[in-house]
Structure 1
Amino acid sequence: MNKTEEHIHSTGAFALKPSPEIDARVREFLNQQLAQYEADSQRLFITTVHSAVNPVVTFSQDLNALGNDTLEWGEVQSHDSEVTGCFSEHGRYEETLRVSRPSIREVEGLMQKLLDHAKADWSN
């Protein structure tokens, strides 16, 4: 059994526990996918505010961390595009720092690709 297999939960549902090996695989996969945007998974951030009217940041994480969370949970998280965006700086929600691509929906699609890839290639 390799290290990746050791990190698969035995609950019947697919999930991978965080580890340095999984983190490296997530980063490599996401950066290959993000190359078309000339972006890096550790330099793009999903940031959420509590209200679009009075935006105060409630959560922010880089795409690499989101990818690791996606694999740990075994599902892709849905984001409300009214209060969540993709930004070039952690913890910031200014329009001048918002990136046009990838969009939130593209990020969700990317996380689904990651999950599908991990299920097919990292669990056997």
Structure 2
Amino acid sequence: MNTIDKNAADVDFTLKPSPEIDTRVREFLNAKLEAHGTDSQQVYITTVSNAAEPVVTFSQDLNALGNDTLEWGNVQIHDTAVTGCFSKHWVYDEAVRVSSPSVREVEALMQELLAHAKEHWNS
């Protein structure tokens, strides 16, 4: 399952969702994901109940994850044993798993987004 960073109580920055924030998030992420040949609405971070008998319990595109990251003011850490990045929504299948970005790369990207928003969108 996904876990929230242990520093959640120390959150000093959040941005509430809005059409303007959504656009900024999409533009930021798409610029970063261009090197991977994809965009934030074509990659889904998907979690299953367990790896042995995978049943999808959560799936979200990276744009939505970016908006959540800003709303929470925190980067979500994922258990890579049950979470992966895929090209189809609500699908946990090796045939549609993307090799790049990886889950850890997505977490780093969300950290970059949060830092960028704190510095440039905090008005």
| TM-score where L is the length of structure 1 | 0.90
| TM-score where L is the length of structure 2 | 0.90
Specify the structure having the higher radius of gyration (Cα). 1
Alignment partner, residue 34 of structure 1: 33
- Give the fraction of aligned pairs with identical amino acids, expressed as a percent: 67
Alignment partner, residue 58 of structure 2: 59
Instruction: Tell me the CA shift for residue 13 of structure 1.
Output: 1.8
Per-residue Cα deviation, 1:60-108 (whole angstroms, up to 9, x for no partner): 0000000000000001000000000000000000000000000000000
Alignment partner, residue 70 of structure 1: 69
Alignment partner, residue 98 of structure 1: 97
- The number of equivalent residue pairs is 113
* Root-mean-square deviation over aligned CA pairs: 0.8
Gaps of 5+ in 2: 1-10
Gaps of 5+ in 1: 1-11
SS in 1 for 2:99: coil
**d(CA) in 2 for partners of 1:120 and 1:62?**
24
Between 1 and 2, higher relative CO (CA 8 Å, sep ≥ 6) is seen in 2
**d(CA) in 2 for partners of 1:13 and 1:119?**
9
Alignment partner, residue 15 of structure 2: 16
SS in 1 for 2:77: coil
